[in-house]
Amino acid sequence: MIGYISDNLLLPILDFFYGLVPSYGLAIIALTVVIRLALFPLSAGSIRSARRMRIAQPVMQKRQAEIKSRYASNPQKQQEELGKLMKEFGSPLAGCLPLVVQMPILFALFATLRGSPFADVPYTLNLKVLPADQIAAVEAKPFNSASHSIFITETSHVPVVASLEQGTKLGVGDTAQIELHTRDGKPFTSVLADVENGSAFLPTWSVTKGDGVVAVSDDGRITAIGTGDATVEAKVPGLAARSGFLFIKALGQVGFYTDGAINWDIAILVGAFGASLFVSQILSGMGMPPNPQQSTANKITPVMITGMFLFFPLPAGVLLYMVVANIFQGLQTFLLTREALPDNLQEILDQQLAQQTVSVASSGAAALDRLPFEPKSKK
């Protein structure tokens, strides 16, 4: 499903924007904004539900406890009253459904930006080599990898599959040819023959696991030389993987620290991601009574996630998308927190804010009653 959405929805949109502005960096930004606008009603539902539950939760918890205590001996009446409570305030799970519905599109967008043209595309084959006298008893099952859309020009891409006719189990001394081809069976080399500078997109082959088990030639022919497990990888160059944008050296660049050097463009993107996430969380609490636990989470979560992405292997193009998406989310959150609440929730919020004001005033008055050197009361 994710591949279908990527091939039939996201890549055509990407092609369209690249046709308008011949910059893959701008195309990423435009694609992100379009998808976020399309998902606005769903994500808005999640934000509204979270805001309302944050206000209603203390009251709902108190009412639920009262209902369970009052109707402990009457389960049917208890469920009836709990249902009325959910109808009055809404279900805490109501905000989850919009999030679940939009996840396939967001995963497809993430997968699109991790592949061609923004990054080199790997095809990985996990092989098992058996002794020659055992392989005869193994039924050959042809292997076909997942399909990846490979850009061969700025606006032309083809779905390419890696196949191994003999399957992934070989005998010592056997050879096998890995074929890259389109879904309709046309060899990838034939596709490249019709493209100017097509040789630039020929795959590179390597053994990433099991050097003493298999060897692979430059044209993808595997030779089994010993028993054991091995992994062979074909990597097709991404058209824009080495293209820059603004301060980004290469959209396909991966890693904050590589080859003994710091990639400051990746560091800036990760820092911008953390800052935009922090601001978005702060905006989500606008107009709400202070919540010490939530405030702590708002400070810790961005730091943890930002630290993780410093060392998580994400291409610069994906990080650019995440920063733009966070900024859009922050703007959306700001707008939705200014919406009027239902009357029952507004009344609860007003009471919570009034109680908070009284509490702060009482604390201030108590502090004024004490001399500077007097200890706080231990009530």
12 located within any domain: yes
For position 83, what pLDDT does the model report? 73
Tokens of 168: 């992934």
Same domain for 130 and 232, yes or no, is yes
Q: What is the pLDDT of residues 213-222, one digit of tens each?
A: 888 888 888 8
Same domain for 133 and 191, yes or no, is yes
Residue partners of 145: CB distance under 8 A and separation at least 6: 123, 124, 125, 161, 162, 163
276 located within any domain: no
Which amino acid makes up residue 82? L
Same domain for 157 and 210, yes or no, is yes
80 located within any domain: yes
The domain total for the chain is 2
Which amino acid makes up residue 267? A
pLDDT above 90 covers what percent of the chain? 0
CB atoms within 10 A of CB 285: 17
19 located within any domain: yes
Residue 186 pLDDT > 80: yes
Angle between helices 316-336 and 24-38 (to 10 degrees): 40
Same domain for 129 and 66, yes or no, is no
Domain boundary among 194, 211, 236: 236
Question: Could you list the residue range(s) of the whole structural domain that residue 103 is in?
Answer: 2-113
Q: Among 339, 340, 338, 324, which Cα is nearest to 37's?
A: 324
Q: What is the pLDDT of residues 278-288, one digit of tens each?
A: 887 777 666 66
This prediction's pTM = 0.66
Q: If 0-12 CB within 10 Å is exposed, 13-18 middle and 19+ buried, where does residue 100 land? A: exposed
Q: What is the pLDDT of residues 332-379, one digit of tens each?
A: 888 777 767 666 666 666 666 677 666 545 555 544 455 554 555 554
Lowest mean pLDDT among 132-136, 144-148, 240-244, 301-305: 301-305
Helix (H) or strand (E) holding 175: strand 175-182
- The backbone torsions φ and ψ at residue 310, rounded to the nearest 5 degrees and listed phi first, read -65, -30
148 located within any domain: yes
What gap in Å lies between CA 81 and CA 282, rounded to an integer? 35
